[in-house]
Amino acid sequence: MDDVLCDYSHAHAEALKQYPSLGFPQSQRGFFENLVPIEGGIETVKYLKQSKDYEPYILTAPSEHNPLSYTEKRIWIEKYLGFDFVERLIICSNKSLLKGDVLIDDHISGKGQENFEGQLIHFGSEEFLNWNMVQKVL
């Protein structure tokens, strides 16, 4: 979710500029709920849901610095993808515990991505810089 569907890094950097002494800006109330969507992500996920070939779920790791991240991520999903996707939201710290054919993530390791049994698409990498490039592979 973070830095794949919503722009976590930009919000994090801006919060640090505004509050330089704040070590973990993601710990502030409203941080996750107010993240801006990444161009093309919402449209692609909605398209995949309508496709007979895909059954998309949103897998996201919680912020250990913000217990509200669970609720705020759920609110974000409903706001941008609709209530139907609330049932498709999985919040888990170890992404290798889940099964699937494809995992689209902004990191290749750190939260179990390196042990995911399906194909890992490294979103934001040179090969998959944006959603247009991901769509070509899907």
Model pTM score = 0.93
Question: Would you list the domain boundaries of the chain?
Answer: 8-137
DSSP code of residue 90: E
pLDDT bin (cut points 50, 70, 90) of residue 55 is very high
- Given the DSSP bridges, would you call strands 89-91 and 102-105 parallel, antiparallel or unpaired? unpaired
Q: How confident is the model at residue 25 (pLDDT cuts 50, 70, 90)?
A: confident
Topology given in CATH for the domain delimited by 8-137: Rossmann fold (3.40.50)
Q: Tell me, what's the pLDDT at 78?
A: 98
Place of tokens 């810089």: 129
Reply yes or no on whether the pLDDT at 70 is more than 90.
yes
* Calpha distance 37→81 (Å, rounded): 11
- Taking only the tens place, the pLDDT of each residue in 79-114 is 999 999 999 999 999 999 999 999 999 999 999 999
Q: What's the pLDDT score for residue 22?
A: 86
What is the pLDDT confidence band of residue 23, given thresholds at 50, 70 and 90? Answer: confident
**CA–CA separation, 77 and 2 (whole Å):** 11
Using CA atoms, how far apart are residues 122 and 21, in angstroms rounded to an integer? 32
Task: Write the CB contacts of 113 (distance below 8 Å, at least 6 apart in sequence).
Answer: 95, 96, 103, 105, 107, 120
